[in-house]
């Protein structure tokens, strides 16, 4: 017996519940009297406590248990297998972009894979089919246990375009679906290093092809030098022959750069193209060849994510140290204290003016202690990333107690602390720079740089605009409201809630737009940049049969359904009538 809704078996918990109710139900000691009518409706029955007792084997209990058992079965929808079984064909289709590469006949491994599936299905007179595509998260393209007709329709949606990825998740899923039957994995090359699953028969349908692809691309705009914008490209010849290509850069509908490239066999050309003009989107293309997806990249101009800074420190070593470090980061701009993202000030001189403002206090105690270590550094905290304090004299340390969380400390003295305030964050460097040598150590500017970078990460904007397929990134939305992601073909999907939102770059290449409250918030581009996958010379044809089986799995084609609904209705009705007669009909006004 199988169950169409096995979760429905949870309803079986009602059986122990009924037993418990009968066991723990309130029982009174019976007392035979004359004239019970004189006692009726005198007062509501009061609780006399519950006592556990052996469940009475009453007709009511037995009927209720029977009804619960039958209703549980009813909810779980039992299916009784019949003799009618069919073959279950399970296919795994390689979803990597090389499957789409076209050969001289203008056919691809994808086309051959579809044809192969249809051929196998046609050879098996009675079958159901499951088709799974590979990927970081495998997807069921057809099925499970779809009809041949459904499979044929589903295969039209098979468009392999992923970068190189691991197939094992899809193969594992397929073997689970197939039970003990065979799985056919259709790919474009026999990979000797691929882990072999005993049930999986591999059929390679690829053909080695010459290919040139853009294998790396970036759009760089130095934060403080917008005029220095440039495009970096890697163009790789992944064939054993010398090839020529023309690189074209287009922006706003016009060609902004074009050049011919000579590519030696198995070579890579690194190109830097200066960009004159602040183009938001630049498209780089090379001549079409076997694989189209790597002939084109779209790059979005990165935006300057500048941290607004106010330095309220008085002239002196502390102020100079901060200014020097800020200049080195090149991601800051001056702002007034009310709107600044980051304020450097003496202890107690400034309070955060808005929720996202960080206040960094520099100050110790002229009568404080001077320390030379050992220093305790909380390495897990990104504020302490790369900090080395060997040889640093941390002078003028105040001995006042604090409840702030220490990031750097020495013994009982907290030296660098973080505390969340009602508004914003307060960071405290418990130091008198006049009595320290921190400014001479790399740790000084690095600490300030870390503070600036961490604050920059909190800015409500993207920090990266050009992404690979499947690359994970985070986004700090302007408010805690749901947003939308509009894809290159105009299809929209909802963004999750939360701050920050964690996203994965989709597989489809192109430009994506993020919207919040129907307003464009930012854009990012997804590109296919994978030299390994672009190398079509590794593609081959061949087959490896499943080592331990040559049989397909079998599934039940139909199930017998017992008349459980009618039986359940009968039993439940009996319970109701019985309980009504015994518990209501003979009970007097209570």
Partner 1 sequence: MAQRDVDQIAQAASLFGLAIPRTALTGAAGENLGTGVGSSLEFQDYREYTPGDDLRHVDWAAFARTDTLMVRLYREEVSPTVEIVLDASASMASDPQKRSLALNLASFFIVLARAHNSRPVLWLAGERVLRHAGDWDRHLDAVIFDATVDLASVLAANRPQFAHRSLRVVISDFLFPHDAETSLQVLSKGAASLALLQILSTEEAQPAPGMARRLVDVETHEYCDIVLSEQAVATYKERLERLKGAVSRAARRIYGAYSCIVSDRSLLEVARQDLYPAGIVEAR
Note whether 584 binds partner 1 by CB under 8 A.
no
Span near partner 1 by CB under 8 A; candidates 30-38, 123-131, 398-406, 509-517: 30-38
Span near partner 1 by CB under 8 A; candidates 36-44, 332-340, 521-529, 568-576: 36-44
Burial class (CB in 10 A: 0-12, 13-18, 19+), 584: exposed
Q: In whole angstroms, how close is the CB of 585 to partner 1 at the nearest point? A: 10
E strand or H helix at 68: helix 59-76
Please tell me the distance from the alpha carbon of residue 546 to that of residue 183, in angstroms, as a whole number: 8
Of the candidate residues 1, 11, 18, 45, the single one contacting partner 1 (CB under 8 A): 45
Please say which residue, 45 or 489, places its beta carbon nearer to partner 1: 45
Of the candidate residues 36, 196, 551, 573, the single one contacting partner 1 (CB under 8 A): 36
Please tell me the distance from the alpha carbon of residue 130 to that of residue 123, in angstroms, as a whole number: 16
Q: In whole angstroms, how close is the CB of 29 to partner 1 at the nearest point? A: 6
Please tell me the distance from the alpha carbon of residue 220 to that of residue 229, in angstroms, as a whole number: 6
* 3-state SS, residue 163: coil
**Polymer length in residues for the chain:** 590
Q: CB under 8 Å to 274, separation ≥6 — which residues?
A: 229, 230
Please tell me the distance from the alpha carbon of residue 119 to that of residue 130, in angstroms, as a whole number: 15
| Contact track, partner 1, 516-545, x by CB under 8 A | ------------------------------
Among residues 164, 127, 159, the alpha carbon closest in space to that of 143 is found at 127
Of the candidate residues 115, 255, 543, 590, the single one contacting partner 1 (CB under 8 A): 590
Please say which residue, 33 or 479, places its beta carbon nearer to partner 1: 33
Please tell me the distance from the alpha carbon of residue 298 to that of residue 527, in angstroms, as a whole number: 7
Q: In whole angstroms, how close is the CB of 62 to partner 1 at the nearest point? A: 22
Give φ, ψ of 400 to 5 degrees.
Answer: -65, 150
Strand partners, 297: 284
- Return the DSSP state at 148: H
Note whether 46 binds partner 1 by CB under 8 A.
yes
Note whether 1 binds partner 1 by CB under 8 A.
no
Note whether 367 binds partner 1 by CB under 8 A.
no
Please tell me the distance from the alpha carbon of residue 375 to that of residue 410, in angstroms, as a whole number: 5
Span near partner 1 by CB under 8 A; candidates 42-50, 58-66, 75-83, 202-210: 42-50
Of the candidate residues 1, 20, 21, 40, the single one contacting partner 1 (CB under 8 A): 40
Span near partner 1 by CB under 8 A; candidates 40-48, 445-453, 462-470, 558-566: 40-48
Of the candidate residues 1, 20, 48, 328, the single one contacting partner 1 (CB under 8 A): 48
| Residue given tokens 């549980």 in the structure block | 72
**Residue 547 CA, distance from chain mean position:** 35
Q: In whole angstroms, how close is the CB of 34 to partner 1 at the nearest point? A: 3
Please say which residue, 44 or 253, places its beta carbon nearer to partner 1: 44
- Using CB under 8 A, list all residues that contact partner 1: 26, 28-40, 42-43, 45-46, 48, 586-590
């Amino acid at each position: 017996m199988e169950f169409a809704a096995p979760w429905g078996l949870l309803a079986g918990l009602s059986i122990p519940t009924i037993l418990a109710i009968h066991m723990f139900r309130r029982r009174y000691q019976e007392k035979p009297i004359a004239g019970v009518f004189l006692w009726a409706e005198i007062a509501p029955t009061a609780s006399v406590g519950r006592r556990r007792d052996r469940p009475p084997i009453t007709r009511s209990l037995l009927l209720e248990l029977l009804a619960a058992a039958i209703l549980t079965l009813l909810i779980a929808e039992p299916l009784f297998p019949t003799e009618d079984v069919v073959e279950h064909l399970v296919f795994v289709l390689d979803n990597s972009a090389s499957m789409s590469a076209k050969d001289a006949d203008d056919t691809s491994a994808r086309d051959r894979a579809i044809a192969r599936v249809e051929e196998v299905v046609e050879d098996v007179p009675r079958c159901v089919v499951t088709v799974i595509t590979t990927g970081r998260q495998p997807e069921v393209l057809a099925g499970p246990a779809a009809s041949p007709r459904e499979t044929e329709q589903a295969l039209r949606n098979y468009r392999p375009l992923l970068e190189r990825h691991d197939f094992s998740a899809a193969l594992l899923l397929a073997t689970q679906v197939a039970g003990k039957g065979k799985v056919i994995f259709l790919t474009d090359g026999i990979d000797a290093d691929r882990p072999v699953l005993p049930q999986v028969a591999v059929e390679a349908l690829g053909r080695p092809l010459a290919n040139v692809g853009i294998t790396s691309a970036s759009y760089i705009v130095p934060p403080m030098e917008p005029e220095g914008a440039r495009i970096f490209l890697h163009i790789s010849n992944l064939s054993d022959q010398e090839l020529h290509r023309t690189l074209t850069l287009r922006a706003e509908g016009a060609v902004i750069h074009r050049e011919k490239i000579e590519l030696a066999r198995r070579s890579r050309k690194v190109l830097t193209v200066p960009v004159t003009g602040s183009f938001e989107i630049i498209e780089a293309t090379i001549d079409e060849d076997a694989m189209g997806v790597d002939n084109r990249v779209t790059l979005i101009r990165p935006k300057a994510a500048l941290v607004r800074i106010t330095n309220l420190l008085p002239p002196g070593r502390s102020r100079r140290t901060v200014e020097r470090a800020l200049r080195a980061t090149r991601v800051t701009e001056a702002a007034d204290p009310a709107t600044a993202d980051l304020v450097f000030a003496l202890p107690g001189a400034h309070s955060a003016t808005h929720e996202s403002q960080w206040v960094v206090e520099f100050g110790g105690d002229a009568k404080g202690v001077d320390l030379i270590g050992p220093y305790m550094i909380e390495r897990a905290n990104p504020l302490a990333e790369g900090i080395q304090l060997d040889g640093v004299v941390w002078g003028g340390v105040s001995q006042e107690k604090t409840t702030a969380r220490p990031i750097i400390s020495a013994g009982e003295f907290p030296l660098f602390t973080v505390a969340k305030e009602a508004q914003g964050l307060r960071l405290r460097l418990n130091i008198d720079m006049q009595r320290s040598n921190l400014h001479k150590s790399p740790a000084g500017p690095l600490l300030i740089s870390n503070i600036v970078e961490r604050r920059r990460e909190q800015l409500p904007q993207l920090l990266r605009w050009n992404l690979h397929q499947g690359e994970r990134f985070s986004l700090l939305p302007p408010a805690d409201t749901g947003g939308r992601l509009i894809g290159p073909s105009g299809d929209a999907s909802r963004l999750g809630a939360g701050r920050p939102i964690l996203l994965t770059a989709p597989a489809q290449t192109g430009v994506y737009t993020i919207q919040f409250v129907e307003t464009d918030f930012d854009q990012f581009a997804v590109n296919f940049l994978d030299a390994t996958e672009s190398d079509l010379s590794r593609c081959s044809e061949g087959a490896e049969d499943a080592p331990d089986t040559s049989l397909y799995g079998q599934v039940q084609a139909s199930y017998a359904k017992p008349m459980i609904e009618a039986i359940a209705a009968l039993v439940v009705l009996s319970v109701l009538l019985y309980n009504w007669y015994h518990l209501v009909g003979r009970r007097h006004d209570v």
